[in-house]
Structure 1
Amino acid sequence: MTTETTLKLMATIAVVWSLVCAPVLAADVGFEEVKISNGAEPPLTAGIWYPTAAPATPHALGNVTQTVAPDAPIMGDRLPLVVLSHGGGNWYGGHYDTALALAHAGFVAAAISHAGDTFDDQSRVMQLWRRPAQLHRLVDYMFQEWRGQDRLDAARVGAFGFSNGGFTVLVAAGGVPDLSKIAPFCELHADHDLCEALQHAGVDLRSAANVPVDAWVHDPRIKAVVIAAPSFGFTFGRAGLSGVRIPVQLWSAEQDRHQPHPDYDEPVRDDLPRTPGYRVVANAGHYDFLPPCDARLLRMRPEICKSLPGFDRAAFHEQFNADVVQSFKAMLR
């Protein structure tokens, strides 16, 4: 076979591969809320966004409105899946705009409410090992029980996480943290918002440190991750991140005053065995990775809703969501 013939054959294969594996572009987005059995514990709650040809209309989702087609038929086959893990004290709808963007681009996006670390239940906020196990259960559900399980591509699974969700996704990707580092860290950095919040919640950080290594649940089905402002980044170290061998995109807020530099994002960036894609968002604060707030939430939680002067959170999220979509497309080819 000549070199020219070989090149033509390779080009043809590449085109066919791109046509087979490229996500469909959805005219609209379907949505459903599901309950997922979780052993002896109460069921977990999750939201699922997916491509559909059914017409979408505005529907309430917590305090916001999203344009979706509830329980509509699923459009497409071999759809890539991205599971989402929210930050502390949030819920599955916390990154609804990112989930919508993924679904419009032909992904299925599934987000879990982490029981024990949601806006209405902070009873197990420092039992951080529960979060990766819950995310693993979500992936199980999507491939074994969800009505659209036969529409998914098991070879293309990604995960997105913010703050505590970023920590969760790092563990799911193979990371092993050492929680015994948290108590001495917070003794030295009691002024960090994260440490103040834990102290205010009455969390016994030293008792939370006794976690066996096998408590951390990894999920080899996850092939790529996007994380934003991961919490407790200092607990991993080079050894703790040595098992994270998949592509990682890491986002950092330049003016993160909740988890100030250089103890959260930077240790993850520096200690991953594979150099991550690293993006620093100028003038952004920690909570700017959350969608823009409505007037009611702004009144209730100004600390997570207000951005620094000159930062346009709405404009940022349009670009952020587009970048997240493109990153997953590239990493899950």
Structure 2
Amino acid sequence: MAMIIAFFALAAAPVLAADVGFEEVKVANGAEPPLTVGIWYPTNAPATPHSLGNFTQTVAPDAAIAGRRLPLVVMSHGGGGWYDGHYDTALALAHAGFVAAAVSHAGDTFDDQSRVLQLWRRPAQLQRLVDYMLDEWRWHGRLDAARVGAFGFSNGGFTVLVAAGGIPDLSKIAPYCEAHPDHDLCEALKHAGVDPHSGADVPASAWVHDPRIRAVVIAAPAFGFAFGRAGLGSVRAPIQLWRAADDRHQPHPYYEEAVRADLPRAPEYHVVANAGHYDFLPPCDARLSRKTPEVCNSQPGFDRAAFHEQFNSDVVQFFEATLR
């Protein structure tokens, strides 16, 4: 019996490959245009620096995958982002033996904000990504369908919370903005000409859940106030929840704290001192800092690079513990 237990423990252990493979794929999405997806995975092929978007990543493009029965983590970016928005976390996961797959959410990316408040589209796109990875990806036979996690930041945090069983009530947005017209969310909606009442009649059936997702990491979830205890009552997966203590984009206690308080099972909760909302994004180089200072610049004394080393380590450890 001891030998049998040892065998299965070994089979479920992560494969620590020498390097990280990467590929960008197009995923068919019904009648809509294909979704663009980035995938990071363990490989034994030599990796070299490559310019991908705004960052340089050390990867082996289109290399062969290493390992079997690999756990999968799907990733959902924040509003106005794209699949590469958390590349350093994806790299850390791949180095630890996970496959990380991130989707660019059509209608809510840096180059297409046409459907930013059609939030029900995002969980459906994430489910399509899980379908693709488990059934269609060229290395899908190397994945363990019983070990699927999800990571999300801001709008992506909202997305993975819905995927894990959450049901938001978007009719809460308008009264929230009436009470807090100076909050970033409400100012952004006004600036974009988006009616905060526009999602008020979204039925609960519009929100797509994915029971294959077994564990969730959420950083600075958008629209946290829209769920409530009833809306989060069906969320059973273990959750690691992160809050930036100096998040002026999503003021406390309406977002992370609202989620933490109403989850039926207490999450692993982290509050990052002196951090702002965008400190959950990777550190920027000098060029990108000049281009987008509002996203790149941290509070004086906050070391984003050092924080991300710890953040990525904690994310990896959480998924290692929950996706056994």
TM over 0.5: yes
Distance 2:187 2:179 in 1: 12
- TM superposition outliers: structure 1 runs of 4+ over 4 Å: 11-14
Deviations 1:47-73 (A, max 9, x none): 000000000001111011000000000
CA distance in 1, matches of 2:240, 2:274: 19
Match of 1:59 in 2: 50
Match of 2:132 among 126, 141, 153: 141
Q: Aligned partners of 2:114, 2:287: CA distance in 1, in Å?
A: 25
- 5+ unaligned residues in a row in structure 1: which ranges? 1-8
| TM-superposed deviation, 1:191 | 1.3
Paired with 1:258 and 1:15, the residues of 2 have a C-alpha distance of: 48
The letter for the 2-side match of 1:84 is M
Q: Does 1:330 align with 2:321?
A: yes
Q: Distance in 2 between matches of 1:282 and 1:331?
A: 26
Are 1:102 and 2:93 counterparts? yes
Give the count of matched residue pairs.
Answer: 324
Residue 188 in structure 1 maps to residue 176 in structure 2: no
User: 1: distance between equivalents of 2:57 and 2:82?
Assistant: 15
Match of 1:79 in 2: 70
Matched, 1:114 2:108: no
Residue 60 of structure 2: SS of its match in structure 1?
A: strand
Match in the other structure for 1:283? 274
2:219 corresponds, among 208, 228, 231, to 228
For the pair 1:92 / 2:87, whether they are aligned, the reply is no
| Structure 1 residue 200: Cα displacement | 0.9
1:90-124 CA distances to partner (integer Å, 9 max, x unpaired)? 00000000000000000000000000000000000
1:175 maps to 2:166: yes
Matching residue of 1:217: 208
1:240-259 alignment, distance < 5 Å? 240-259=231-250
TM-score, length-normalised on structure 2?
0.98
- Matched to 1:67, the amino acid is T
Structural RMSD (CA): 1.0
Q: Do residues 269 (structure 1) and 260 (structure 2) align?
A: yes
What CA deviation, in whole Å up to 9, does each residue of 1:174-222 have, x standing for no partner? 0000000001101111111122111111111112222111110000000
- Residue 12 of structure 1, CA deviation: 5.5
Task: Output the TM-score relative to the length of structure 1.
Answer: 0.96
User: For the residues of structure 2 that align with 1:95 and 1:200, how far apart are their CA atoms?
Assistant: 27
State the percentage of identical aligned residues: 79
CA distance in structure 2 between the aligned counterparts of 1:191 and 1:14, rounded to whole angstroms? 57
Query: For residues 186 and 4 of structure 2, what CA distance do their matches in structure 1 show?
Result: 53
Deviates more, 1:296-305 or 1:277-286: 296-305
Is 1:37 the equivalent of 2:28? yes
Larger radius of gyration: 1
Cα separation, 1, equivalents of 2:318 and 2:296: 26
State the secondary structure of the residue aligned to 2:208: coil
Q: Which runs of 5+ in 2 are unaligned?
A: none
Q: 1:307 aligns with which of 295, 298, 303?
A: 298
Q: Which residue of 2 aligns with 1:124?
A: 115
Q: Whole-Å Cα distance in 1 between the matches of residues 8 and 221 of structure 2? A: 34
Match of 1:27 in 2: 18
Distance in 2 between residues matched to 1:263 and 1:60, nearest whole Å: 38
Give the corresponding residue for 1:298.
289
